[in-house]
């Protein structure tokens, strides 16, 4: 057999292996479209790994990595302010602990189901690996809708949620944090209940805590700042910068707010942001202090913005935000918020760089549009890894019982984001896809986890 034939055989074997696992996942996990999407995005780009290193195939790495180590689903009963009993469903997916305790956020949103938590948990394995920190992958949440609930209702819900979750987590086992609908207030109630039930002050059992009881400075800012640091590296590599650029940022929650803050500091102007009802367009630049007041303090709708800035526009619906011409687009709201059509519109309006602050915000078709048109594309598991990276720094500070300054944590975050960029760029080149950071992130994320799994044997 010639070398050329040998190579094409190896490619075919690797492709068949990957396709076989994708088909098996679909069969075993029917009706889970988001999980299938994440599996396809990641596994398709891993073919070159199995081609070059059949040892991972022989050890069944893929078959094992797509199956969560443990999935927990539970009843969350609570009583609303009218005395009526309410029941929600809780989830925790402990996906992979090869390189550290399970680590990942909790999402409270009515759309939450097994498919969404599994896609998020699967992504988290690779993201956490890229941070270079010793953290495995997990995710959890509930179909509880925090909107319109009183503080007392949020507290009772969090207490009920933790009354079950506490038996499955520990600072060395599984460390949850925030995600959509879970911020400092919710982490506080969850921590209080955990402490009471365990009779232990395990500071490191949750991250995203308040600064007065073990939280880390710069954790609130970390995901948004990190996304901008990452995009800055992509731009710098092309001799570009944020200076003078126009940006569109979807969402107006934790990630969006601090992405806008950092890109503004770097000389760009964010002209739009959104919530799940609609978006605002302010050609003079978003008034971030007002957005913080409306969303972080008053928990109001983004539509209220135009009451303070009548020159700005409010539009109902989310997808329209991507029709606003911009050079930098940062989707920071939710999954599948950029479809093929929105991606084409962004490209025809001259977008230069897209950085995914949210998890899986671009559909598979949208990613293809960006990559095929030479847009600098920072995939979620790399671009938004700053949040979980600083969570790991929070755990480190909790273990040492010390607190670093804002500058120290922010400096480490910046270094981590630069390192992630270099790591995935190098992987994309080494495996034959220069410039394709989707492939680079998936491969670099996998290798560390796969090697640890090889060391641990078949477990």
- In the complex, the residues that contact ligand NDP under the rule CB under 6 A are 178-181, 223, 251-256, 275-277, 318, 332-334, 357-359, 384, 387
Among ligand NDP, ligand 2IT, none, partner that 333 touches (CB below 5 to 8 angstroms by kind): ligand NDP
The single residue among 100, 101, 105, 355 that binds ligand 2IT, judged by CB under 6 A, is 105
Q: Which residues pair with 104 in a beta bridge?
A: 176
Total residues contacting ligand 2IT by CB under 6 A comes to 11
Which residues contact residue 381 at a Cβ distance below 8 angstroms, ignoring those fewer than 6 apart?
Answer: 123, 126, 127, 130, 441, 442, 445
Q: Which does 275 bind (CB under 5 to 8 A by kind): ligand NDP, ligand 2IT, none?
A: ligand NDP
Least Å distance, CB 355 to ligand NDP, is 12
SS3 assignment, position 280: strand
Closest residue to ligand 2IT: CB criterion: 105
From the list ligand 2IT, ligand NDP, none, pick the one residue 207 interacts with, judged by a Cβ distance below 5 to 8 Å according to partner type.
Answer: ligand 2IT
Q: Give the active site residues.
A: 139
Nearer to ligand 2IT, 326 or 441 (CB): 441
177 binds ligand 2IT (CB under 6 A): yes
Q: Give dist(CA 232, CA 343) in Å, integer.
A: 21
Please give the residues from 319 up to 378 whose contact with ligand 2IT meets the rule CB under 6 A. Answer: 359
Q: Which of positions 132-161 make contact with ligand 2IT (CB under 6 A)?
A: none
What phi, psi does 362 have (nearest 5°)? -105, 135
Nearest approach in angstroms of CB 300 to ligand 2IT is 23
User: Nearer to ligand NDP by C-beta: 32 or 221?
Assistant: 221
Residue in the structure block whose two tokens are 């079950």: 164
Within 113-132, which residues bind ligand 2IT (CB under 6 A)? 127
Q: Is the dihedral of CA 278, 110, 128, 366 positive or negative?
A: negative
Residue 179 binds ligand 2IT, judged by CB under 6 A: yes
Strand order in the sheet with 353-355: 313-316, 278-281, 269-274, 246-249, 328-330, 353-355, 376-378
The region of 71-79, 90-98, 100-108, 163-171 touching ligand 2IT under the rule CB under 6 A is: 100-108
Q: How far is the CB of 433 from ligand NDP (least distance, A)?
A: 24
Our CB check for ligand NDP shows the closer of 268 and 280 to be 280
CB 107 within 8 A of CB 117: yes
**What backbone phi and psi angles, to 5 degrees, belong to 106?**
-115, 130
Residue 334 binding result from ligand 2IT, ligand NDP, none, given CB thresholds of 5 to 8 Å by partner type: ligand NDP
| Residue closest to 439 by CA, chosen among 48, 70, 75, 61 | 48
Map residues 191-210 to x or -, x wherever contact with ligand 2IT holds by CB under 6 A.
----------------x---
CA distance 331 to 334: 8
Sign of CA dihedral 377, 379, 382, 384: positive
Helix extents (H) in 218-339: 219-237, 254-265, 288-292, 305-308
Q: Among residues 335, 363, 391, 398, which is the contact residue for ligand 2IT, using CB under 6 A?
A: 391
100 lines the binding site for ligand 2IT (CB under 6 A): no
Please report how close the Cβ of residue 369 comes to ligand NDP at its closest, in angstroms.
Answer: 20
In what helix (H) or strand (E) does residue 249 lie, and over which residues does it extend?
A: strand 246-249
Element (H, E) at 71: strand 70-79
**Residue 414 structure tokens:** 């910046």
Q: Does 169 bind ligand 2IT (CB under 6 A)?
A: no
Residues in the chain: 459
Instruction: Measure the CA–CA gap between 335 and 228, rounded to whole angstroms.
Output: 19
For ligand NDP, the closer CB: 165 or 383: 383
What distance in Å separates the CA atoms of residue 391 and residue 187, rounded to the nearest whole number?
A: 13
Asked if residue 379 binds ligand 2IT (CB under 6 A), the reply is: no
Q: How far apart are the first and last CA of the chain?
A: 37
Report the interface residues with ligand 2IT, using CB under 6 A: 103-105, 127, 177, 179, 207, 359, 387-388, 391
């Amino acid at each position: 057999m010639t070398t050329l034939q040998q190579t094409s055989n190896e490619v075919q074997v690797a492709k068949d292996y990957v396709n076989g696992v994708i088909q098996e996942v679909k069969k075993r996990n029917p009706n889970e479209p988001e999980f299938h999407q994440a599996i396809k995005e990641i596994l398709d780009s891993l073919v070159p790994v199995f081609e070059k290193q059949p040892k991972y195939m022989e050890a069944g790495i893929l078959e094992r990595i797509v199956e969560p180590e443990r999935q927990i689903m539970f009843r969350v009963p609570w009583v609303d302010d009218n005395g009526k009993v309410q029941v929600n469903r809780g989830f925790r997916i402990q996906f992979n602990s090869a390189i550290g305790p399970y680590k990942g956020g909790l999402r409270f949103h009515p759309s939450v189901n097994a498919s969404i938590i599994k896609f998020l948990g699967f992504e988290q394995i690779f993201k956490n690996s890229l941070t270079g920190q010793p953290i495995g992958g997990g995710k959890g949440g509930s179909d509880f809708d925090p909107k319109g609930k009183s503080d007392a209702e949020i507290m009772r819900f969090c207490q009920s949620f933790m009354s079950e979750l506490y038996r499955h987590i520990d600072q060395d086992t599984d460390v949850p944090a925030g995600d959509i609908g879970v911020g400092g207030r919710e982490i506080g109630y969850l921590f209080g209940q955990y402490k009471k039930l365990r009779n232990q002050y395990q500071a490191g059992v949750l991250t995203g805590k308040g600064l007065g009881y073990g939280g880390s400075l710069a954790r609130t800012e970390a995901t948004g700042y990190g996304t901008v640091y990452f995009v800055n590296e992509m731009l710098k590599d092309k001799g570009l910068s944020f200076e003078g650029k126009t940006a569109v940022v979807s969402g107006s929650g934790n990630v969006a707010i601090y992405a806008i803050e950092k890109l503004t500091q770097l000389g760009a102007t964010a002209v739009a942001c959104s919530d799940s009802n609609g978006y605002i367009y302010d050609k003079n630049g978003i008034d971030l202090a007002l957005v913080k007041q409306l969303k972080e303090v008053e928990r109001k709708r983004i539509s209220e913005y135009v009451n303070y800035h009548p020159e700005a526009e409010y539009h109902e619906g989310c997808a329209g935000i991507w029709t606003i011409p911009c050079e930098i687009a940062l989707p920071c709201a939710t999954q599948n918020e950029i479809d093929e059509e929105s991606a084409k519109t962004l490209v025809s309006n001259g977008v230069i760089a897209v950085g995914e602050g949210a998890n899986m915000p671009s559909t598979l078709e949208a990613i293809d549009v960006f990559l095929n048109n030479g847009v600098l594309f920072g995939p979620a598991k790399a671009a938004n890894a700053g949040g979980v990276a600083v969570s790991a720094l929070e755990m480190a500070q909790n273990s040492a019982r010390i607190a670093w300054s804002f500058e120290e944590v922010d400096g480490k975050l910046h270094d981590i984001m630069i390192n992630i960029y270099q790591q995935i760029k190098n992987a994309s080149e080494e495996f034959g896809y220069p410039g394709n950071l989707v492939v680079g992130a998936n491969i670099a994320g996998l290798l560390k986890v796969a090697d640890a799994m090889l060391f641990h044997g078949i477990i």
